[in-house]
């Protein structure tokens, strides 16, 4: 019976990694739509969020079933509860990708990201997508070292966020208020995707070790 229970637990983590793949594709698609002004791609990202929502519900149902039927304790209970929290974080990452896609769609036939800030936003998007991809591997392998490293690497996203604000507030900004609002929101969305990725990675550390990683000291 316990062997079956642990097989079910392992399948939950397989499902979480699969959701992470969906989120990674959503981030990539939303970014491509944003930088190219592709309304059709933006619509696909928006409509595809329903699949992520359904996958979250499936994981929750499986986890609640384990809680009610198996009554796990100690380490097993920690794993189930962590999985429930992780799947919520992953769903939110998908929602943030939808927010990016909606800004892209709203500005068609124009492109929401002005040329002068494109390098910064493009890098933020690339960092966010990379972090989601790394979280997928962290979940699949329950890799504590990689999870801790991801938390440390989040500093680049924080630096990019600060740079984007500096560019928006510069006297050289000529794109007006509407573009500034778009860029500020987009920066926030990508930053939050990275934050959720770090949070999921930290939960993996907790699942494996029973301890919460110490946050990196910010300069």
How many distinct structural domains can be found in the chain? 1
State the SS3 of the chain.
CHHHHHHHHHHHHHHHHHHHHHHHHHHHHHHHHHHHCCHHHHHHHHHHHHHHHHHHHHHHHHHHHHHHHHCCCHHHHHHHHHHHHHHHHHHHHHHHHHHHHHHHHHHCCCCCCCHHHHHHHHHHHHHHHHHHHHHHHHHHHCCHHHHHHHHHHCHHHHHHHHHHHHHHCCCCCCCHHHHHHHHHHHHHHHHHHHHHHHHHHHHHHHHHHCCCCCCCCCC
Q: What is the residue range of 89's domain?
A: 2-209
- Which of 97-101, 168-172, 193-197 has the lowest average pLDDT? 168-172
User: In this structure, what CATH number is given to the domain that contains residue 142?
Assistant: 1.20.58.220
192 in a domain, yes or no? yes
Residues of the chain with pLDDT > 70: what percent? 93
7 in a domain, yes or no? yes
94 in a domain, yes or no? yes
Q: Tell me, what's the pLDDT at 112?
A: 93
41 in a domain, yes or no? yes
Q: Tell me, what's the pLDDT at 210?
A: 84
215 in a domain, yes or no? no
Whether 1 shows a pLDDT value over 60: the answer reads no
218 in a domain, yes or no? no
59 in a domain, yes or no? yes
- Mean pLDDT throughout 64-90? 83
Q: Tell me, what's the pLDDT at 2?
A: 62
219 in a domain, yes or no? no
Query: Over the stretch 79-136, which tens digit does the pLDDT of each residue have?
Result: 888 999 999 999 999 999 999 999 999 999 999 999 999 999 999 999 999 999 999 9
Q: Tell me, what's the pLDDT at 182?
A: 95
Q: Tell me, what's the pLDDT at 177?
A: 92
């Amino acid at each position: 019976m316990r062997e079956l229970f642990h097989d079910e637990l392992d399948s939950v983590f397989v499902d979480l990694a699969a959701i992470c793949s969906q989120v990674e594709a959503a981030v990539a698609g939303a970014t491509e739509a944003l930088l190219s002004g592709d309304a059709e791609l933006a619509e696909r990202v928006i409509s595809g969020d329903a699949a992520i929502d359904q996958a979250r519900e499936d994981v929750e149902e499986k986890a609640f079933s384990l809680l009610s039927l198996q009554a796990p304790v100690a380490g097993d209970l920690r794993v189930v509860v962590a999985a429930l929290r992780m799947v919520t974080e992953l769903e939110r990452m998908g929602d943030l990708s939808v927010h990016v896609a909606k800004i892209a769609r709203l500005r068609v036939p124009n492109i929401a990201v002005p040329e002068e800030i494109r390098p910064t936003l493009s890098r933020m998007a690339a960092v966010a997508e990379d972090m989601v991809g790394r979280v997928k591997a962290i979940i699949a392998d329950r890799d504590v070292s990689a999870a801790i490293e991801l938390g440390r690497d989040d500093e680049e996203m924080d630096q990019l966020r600060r740079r984007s604000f500096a560019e928006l507030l510069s006297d050289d900004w000529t794109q007006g208020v509407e573009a500034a609002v778009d860029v500020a929101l987009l920066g926030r969305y990508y930053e939050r995707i990275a934050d959720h990725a770090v949070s999921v990675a930290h939960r993996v550390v907790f699942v494996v070790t029973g301890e919460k990683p110490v946050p990196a000291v910010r300069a």
